[in-house]
Structure formats: structure tokens, C-alpha cells
Chains A and B, each alone.
Chain A
Amino acid sequence: MSDHHPTGITRWLYTTNHKDIGSMYLWFSFIMFLIGGAMAMVIRAELYQPGLQFVQPEFFNQMTTMHGLIMVFGAVMPSMVGLANWLIPMMIGAPDMALPRMNNWSFWILPFAFTLLLSSFLMEGGAPNFGWTFYAPLSTTYGPPSTDFFILGVHMMGISSIMGAINVIVTVFNMRAPGMTLMKMPLFVWTWLITAFLLIMVMPVLAGTVTMMLTDRHFGTSFFDAAGGGDPVMFQHIFWFFGHPEVYIMILPAFGVVSEIIPAFSRKKLFGYSSMVYATASIALLSFIVWAHHMFAVGMPVAGELFFMIATMLIAVPTGVKVFNWVATMWQGSLTFETPMLFSIAFVILFTIGGFSGVMLAMAPVDFQYHDTYFVVAHFHYVLFPGAIFGTTAAVYYWLPKWTGKMYNETSGKIHFWLSMIFVNLTFFPMHFSGLAGMPRRIPDYNMMFADFNMWASIGAFGLGLTQVYFLVTIIMAIRGGKKADEKQWDGATGLEWDALPSPAPYHTFSTPPKVD
């Protein structure tokens, strides 16, 4: 097959090329990240000091809700799919994704879904305002008219994710180069394979949840209404059956990314490859039986609370195995600290801190004190920002030379890293304290005793926001005028994408399969 590029706008609209689609996913995700981040800036500006300064409570709730939704569904998930598109075919020696046209469809649904979601700001009653968890009945009987557009938007995102997941699974099962056995696959491919299973299992359940919401709102059903024999808490059970695996959907591919990067800059093979694979699978399996740890306060029977508490704590074990294996990979390696490595190391440390607060939250009797306070907000931003986002950032720095054939400026990268590192902690660490001191989440105004922590968090947040704009500049400069990258930019890198392909990788990856032994 010849290496011809289609050109013009239809190159992007009609494409069946995994690289083009991967790039579109990544850019889309970054735009969403900026929009969701801008909303976080509004939140932090309002919370900078006590009193209402900028926005009314209704609008504040819309900001919180849309920030959560956009970050989760618009920024993190698409960024991971973007990485999958770029990397999986190159890593397993495939010519493209298995179902290229469907791949394009998965992507193009997303911008429309988010247009739908964002357009709700213009509707009467404003955007959804019931939190990204949209608990009934606040989102059913009491939801604003835009709720229905939100519901159908979620359906669209779900369709997109499911098709994306199918594509990954089929590609991995059916498109590997000869000799690329499952247990030879790079860990990134493994983590994505498992993530794809999670997606197929839970996205349809989310679709079911919002469908029940829709019929409760308009067609007289009583799923979430006790008067008709339903139960508002049932909403939470179904939602979190999706919601908890969802958080691993956001983190597992990032685990995969650091599992590629740490060995490269340690110049040493990944320690405990097979136990990494089994640990990832265990995390995924356990993630299906822990959902009610978000619901300790709803009044479940004690037996249920005990079960979910213990099951949740167990997840620390396989996750610990992963952390220890990363540490052992670095142990007695020959380490250098280029930007991707810095982000990966920060990932391991800060994600672990977020994991620790997760274990604290898992202890039901103390969770009564933490639940729905800023302590939870601190927890999930630690696993999400220095977790999922740092993971993606590390990946972008690491593979950018392969994707574009250009190197970023190492100094800029390091500045971006250190500013991110400082501000991320300045933003989110004080939230542990305001939470412990008793500040509930999702409130636009608070008592003076929480003022100091909030001020610090807001200052950190503004810094963090600007830092991400700097990231954008760094990347654009690299693409526009970066130095030419080597075929194997990192001397410790391994894998087909580095060993068997030039930089930039050709438009059509492997027209004939590489040999893997």
C-alpha cells in the first residue's frame, strides 16, 4: 500500500487512519481539558474567599457539574482513546485498527455530544446542575429542562466509548504481528485491553441508568421514586456500578504509560511483567464489587457496608503490586530524568498518595466523617490530575518524537513539569485539610474557618491553569519548529514503535507485518 496522504478537510472528516484519528482524539481532549479547566477556574475564583463574589449558587452548581462531566468524559477518556489509537497498532505490529471506519465514527460522535452538552448553558434553566453523579431525584423530578439533552448526550458518549472499546479488543485479539503473543505485548496494550473490557461492561449500564432517568422524567415510571415502589438509592447503585469501574477506566491506561516509560529511563526491563498483567486484571475484577463505597451514608444494611468496605480495601493489594514493581524497575537501574520520566515519577508518588486517601475513604466508619467533604475532592484530584493527566502528559512527551518526528524543548518540558508539580500540590493538598476541618463539597460559600486553605487552593489552581497553557505552547513549538527526532529518541526505549519504525512513523504503519521473536 502506498504511503499517500489524503489532504484537505476531508482528510480529517472521512479518515480511516488510526494516526489521524488518534491526533483528533488528543486535540479534542486537550480542548475539553481547557474548557473544563476554565470552569474549575470559575469555581476556584468563587471559593477564593468567603461570600459570593462572582457567580450565583445556581451557576456555581452548573460549573461544578459541567467541570466534572467534561473532565471525565471529555478530557480524560478521549485522551486515553487517542493514545490507544496512536500506539496500539504500532506496538503490536498492525497496519491499523481492526475496524477503521467505525473508529472514525467513534471519534466524530464526541464533538457533537459535547456540543449538545455545552449548548445546555444557553437553555432556559441553564446547564445540568446536579453534580457529575446526577443523583435522582434532583436530576429527575427537579432537574432543569436541559437534563434531557444531557441524557441524550451521555447516550452519544456511551455509543462512542463502546465502539472505541470494541475496536481495541478486536485489534488486540486479531491484528497482532506473527510472534506477538499476548504475554509479549507491551504493558500499555495490556492495560488498554483490560480497560476496553471494563468499558464494554459498564458503559451500557450507564446508558441504562440515564434511560431510566428519562422515563422517570417523562413517561411516568417510578424507578427512583418510593411512592411507586422504586428507590432513589437504586439510582446510586446502578450509577456506581458504572462509576467505580469508570475511575479505573481513567487510570489503567495511565498505568500502562508509566510502565513503558519507567523502564526506558531506568534502562532496565520492567520488573515483574507477568505480575503486572495479573495485578491489572485483578484490579479490574475487583472494581465490579466495590461500588457501594460511594454510598456508605445512604443507610445500607451493615452487612453490605462491611462487604463493600473490605472489598474496596483489597484493591490496595494489586495496586500496591504495581507500585512496588515500578519501584523495583528503577532499583539498580541507570536512571536519567527527562520530562517523560519526571512526569512518570510524579505519577507514581502522587497517585500513591491519592491511593492512600482512597484506602482511608474505604474505611466505612471514618468515611462518615470524610464523605462529601473536600477530603474526597482532594482524593480524586490526586488520582486524576497527577494520575490520569500526568500519565497522558508523560505519554505525549515520550511519544511526541515518534508521532511528529520532532523533539520538544527539554527545558520547556522541565519547566512545565516543575510548575505542574508545585501547583498541583498547592491546589489539591490543602483540600485534605479543609475537608477534615469539615468543609462539604459542592458549596459556593463557606465559613471563615476554611478560608486559608481555600485561598491557597485557589492560588494554586490559577498557577496550574496557566501552566497548562504553557504546555500547549511547548507542544505547538515542538511540532512547528522542534529539532528533528531520532528514530530511537530514547536510548532505553524498547518496543516495535521504536525498533521497527522511523520517526515520524509513516502514515500507514506496517504494510507487511514485522517479525517478533
Chain B
Amino acid sequence: MAIRRKLIAGIASSLSIMLSGAVQAVAEMNMRPGVTETSIEAYELHMLVVWVMVAISFVVFGAMFYSFIFHRKSKHPTPATFSHSTKMEIIWTTIPVLILIYLTIPAVSLLIKMEDASDPEMSIQITGSQWKWHYKYMDQDIEFFSNLATPREQFEDFNADGQTKGENYLLEVDNEMVIPINTKVRFLVTAEDVIHSWWVPEIAVKKDAIPGFINETWTNIPTPGTYRGQCTELCGKDHGFMPIVVKAVSKENFAKWVASKDAERLAAEEAAAVAVAASWDLDKLMALGKTAYDAKCAMCHQVDGSGVAGAFPALKGSVIATGPVAAHMTMVVDGSTGGMQAFGKQLSDAELAAVITYERNAWGNNTGDTVTPADIQAFKAGN
């Protein structure tokens, strides 16, 4: 008796452990409900459809399996001879129509809500480019790039096993998008080069970034937190390495953040002025240049300047990197229609100068030229 009770208790408890494990697993397997009103509604609609589909499956597959069991030849040697029934055809046309109407109604109202970006309290322009995001706060004087922050060594070389991957491997950035909670934020999504798509699952916002057009979408996040997403439109080589991080903070903290960004900008402007005034020699430029190059350029032109055949030209021995300086500056600062981005705004004048100097002297491009931040300033002014 006691043993039996123990056994039952044991089975029950292990069952419940398994069950809770299963529930947890189910939670990881399923769509995340997210945090905004629309994301939760999308989740609910998703669950509704799932259950409707499960129900239909039971009926359809149930009938099939009934046939497999009871109408197999060994059990049911003489087949029936019917082969048509208008009544049945009408029934199984009508019922699906009704089910679909039932599903369409909530879908229509949610869709209309999701696409209504009117009356925003603030706007952020989101620009995708290969392979980073640029955020420009339209109402605050803030703009910055947001790059993948996971060190490339963690995935780039094949024997990166020694490298431990963090919890947010590939989902971390250097500059997060920060927005206030309980505020209707409108996103103006566009792209520089190819199509990208800005997706953050937990706020159920996914909008394609189309070059030459601006798509509007919005969110209103009620709870502070960090929400991660990725680019979801194939955009070339590093499409998988273009994460998005949105940090929702209280309105007070948002104001503080804006203030800190303002201070940062002032500091950067000062640093730029200092840099122009400072004396630069080749070694100093080369050192800064290598850092900037490896961070910003190597993903296309490769660390050793060899490029990727057919896609990104080699800089080692390239005509532009060894020819007149002006053309080189134009290429880096203003970009080209052939796929080279404009780095004029992504890098400081000092970095631009350094990176150009670096390219003109590294890998055997021994031109001996130096380009200083002052040259860059002059070049930009002349533009």
C-alpha cells in the first residue's frame, strides 16, 4: 500500500517535473508575447490560429486515421461505391469559409492598428546600410551608428572554439537605441544601399528599409527593458551580423540620456578641434588608422587589404589608394555609387585622416603620404 502510494507520488512528481519542463520548453519554442499592446495582440492572434489549425487537424487527420484502421483491406474487403456528393462538397466549402471569416475579423482590426503611425510623440529615423544601423532622433539633436559589438574573433576564424560566446552573442551592439517608455515613438525606416529590414520581435515591429523610400511604423513600450532583434532581409555578406538593440527607459532616464549624448557631442567636437590643431606624424596616424581600418573597413576590404574578388576591390596596390590623394578622400568621405559607403559622417576627421594614411602606407602601398585631420576638414569644406 505504502509502496504503491510512494510509487504514485513518485510518478506524479516526476510527471509534474516533466510537465513543467515541457511547459518551459514550449515557452521557448513559441512566439514570445512581447511587451507592447500590439505585440501581445499579435501573439494572441497567433495562438488563436494555432488552436484553430490544431482543431482542424484533429478532424481531418482523425477521419483519415479512422479509415486507415477500419477501412483497410483486411477489415473492409469490399469498398463502397459512392463517388460523389454535392451536399458534402457544399459543407466542406462552407465551413472553411466560416472559419476564415472568424480568423479575418481580429486580423483586420489588428492590422489597421499596427499600421496607424499617426500622432507620434517623437520620431526616429532608422537607416540601414551594409551592415549597421543609423539612428537619427528627429526631435533631439542626436544621431549615431549602431554596430555589432560581439568581437569578430568569436565567430570569424574557424577555430574560435576557445572563445566563449556571451549570452547575447551576435545580439549586442555598441550604441543601443534608447527610447522612453509610454511614449508613441514613430520609426521612419529607410536604407542607404540595399534593402534591410528592422525587426524587434518583442515589440512586433518589422519594417523593410527600402533605399529611396521611407516606411513608417511605430511602437509604444510600457515596460523598461532591453529588447533585441536582427536585420531580417538578406542584405549581403554580413546580413547575419546586423543586430538591433532597443533600450526602453523611464522618461526621466531618457532625458538624462539625451543630456549625456549632448555632452558627448560637445566633447567630440572639442576633440575634433584639438585633433586638427595637434601635430600628427606618420606613426601616430598609422596606429589610429589601423584601429579604425580593422573596425570599419576590414569587413569588406579584409584586414590585409586584399578585398573580396568580384565584390570589394583590393586596396593593396589599388589605383585609388596609391594615386592622387583627393580621389582617395572623395571615395572614403563621400563613397561611390558602386557600393562604397560614405564614411564622412561615420568617422571623425582624425579617424578619416588616419584611415586614409593607413591605406596609403600599409601592405606595401608605400606612398609615404600623410593626410591630417586638417586636410580632411579642408576637403569637407571644399565639398
Contacts and interface: CB of A to CB of B under 8 A. Distances in A.
A323 B60 CA distance: 8
Question: Which residue, B204, B234, B338, has most C-beta atoms of chain A within 10 A?
Answer: B234
A310 B89 contact: no
A214 interface: no
Contacts of A288: none
Given A314-B100, A446-B170, A270 B83 contact: yes
A298 to B, nearest CB: 5
Interface stretch (B192-200, B272-280, B325-333): B192-200
Contacts of B179: none
Interface residues of A, number: 97
Interface in B31-56: 31-32, 38, 41-42, 45-46, 49-50, 53, 56
B204 A272 contact: no
Interface in B5-41: 28-32, 38, 41
Interface stretch (A93-101, A183-191, A325-333): A325-333
A57 B167 contact: no
A472 B193 CA distance: 45
B224 interface: no
B73 A335 contact: yes
Interface string A292-336: 000001110010011001100110110011011001101111111
A336 B79 contact: no
Contacts of B2: none
Contact of A272 (B84, B167, B205): B84
Interface stretch (A107-115, A401-409, A436-444): A436-444
A149 interface: no
Given A317-B100, A448-B169, A130 B234 contact: yes
A204 interface: no
Contacts of B67: 327, 330-333, 335
B88 A328 contact: yes
B339 A141 contact: yes
Contact of B240 (A268, A313, A444): A444
Contacts of B383: none
B296 interface: no
B178 to A, nearest CB: 21
A330 B71 contact: yes
B374 to A, nearest CB: 33
B235 interface: yes
Interface in A429-453: 433, 436-438, 440-449, 453
Given A125-B311, A309-B111, A371-B206, A333 B85 contact: no
Contacts of A369: 31, 42, 46, 201, 204, 206
B363 interface: no
B125 interface: no
Contact of A297 (B197, B212, B230): B197
Interface in B61-116: 61, 63-64, 67-68, 71-73, 76-85, 88-89, 92-93, 96-97, 100, 103-104, 107-108, 110-112, 114-115
A51 B160 contact: yes
Given A359-B49, A447-B169, A138 B155 contact: no
B225 interface: no
Contact of B212 (A226, A270, A334): A226
A231 B60 CA distance: 44
B236 A334 contact: no
Interface stretch (A19-27, A37-45, A345-353): A345-353
A137 B194 contact: yes
Nearest to A125: B310
B232 interface: yes
Interface string B147-169: 00000001110101100010111
Contact of B76 (A54, A144, A334): A334
Contacts of B115: 302, 305
A332 B92 contact: no
Interface in B217-242: 229-241
Contacts of B367: none
Contacts of B171: 447
A486 interface: no
A262 B315 CA distance: 63
B83 A273 contact: yes
Given A298-B208, A317-B96, A360-B49, A50 B165 contact: yes
A9 interface: no
B213 interface: yes
Contacts of A58: 237, 308, 311
A447 B28 CA distance: 14
B318 to A, nearest CB: 16
B258 interface: no
A446 to B, nearest CB: 7
A458 interface: no
B72 A335 contact: yes
A516 interface: no
Contact of B53 (A129, A231, A356, A436): A356
A321 B93 contact: yes
A299 B211 contact: no
Contacts of A445: 155, 170, 240-241
Nearest to B63: A327
B237 A332 contact: no
A225 interface: yes
B190 to A, nearest CB: 10
Given A360-B49, A371-B232, A272 B114 contact: no
B239 A442 contact: yes
B73 A144 contact: no
Given A226-B212, A335-B72, A54 B155 contact: no
Contacts of B381: none
B3 interface: no
Contacts of B84: 271-274
A443 B49 CA distance: 28
16 contacts: A52-B155, A61-B236, A137-B195, A138-B235, A142-B236, A144-B310, A226-B210, A297-B232, A305-B111, A309-B111, A316-B96, A334-B77, A335-B73, A360-B46, A365-B42, A453-B29
Given A299-B216, A356-B57, A360-B50, 17 more contacts: A57-B238, A57-B240, A141-B194, A268-B80, A274-B84, A297-B232, A316-B96, A317-B100, A323-B60, A328-B88, A352-B57, A363-B103, A365-B41, A369-B204, A369-B206, A440-B230, A440-B231
